[in-house]
Amino acid sequence: MQEGCRSAGIGCLDCKGPLIDAISAEVKPIRERAAEFSQHPEDVRRIIDDGSAAAREVAQETLNEVRAAMGLAYK
């Protein structure tokens, strides 16, 4: 493949075709899952809301630890 490309023995599409096919195969499950989510935006909103709530809890615990370590614990 390298020699054919460097010597112009093969065209760019001959070189890139297998790469495009491989990338398409890798991305196919991601595209399928995205299509499912696009059909159910309420599920996406719920997932985002649940993740945001979990992140807020972790962030609050971290802030409390930082404030305590700095002697800035508020009551």
Locate the domains of the chain by residue range: 2-69
Q: Tens digit of pLDDT for each residue in 22-63? A: 999 999 999 999 999 999 999 999 999 999 999 999 999 999
Using CA atoms, how far apart are residues 69 and 19, in angstroms rounded to an integer? 53
11 — pLDDT class (breaks 50, 70, 90)? confident
Using CA atoms, how far apart are residues 75 and 72, in angstroms rounded to an integer? 10
Using CA atoms, how far apart are residues 13 and 47, in angstroms rounded to an integer? 41
User: Model pTM?
Assistant: 0.54
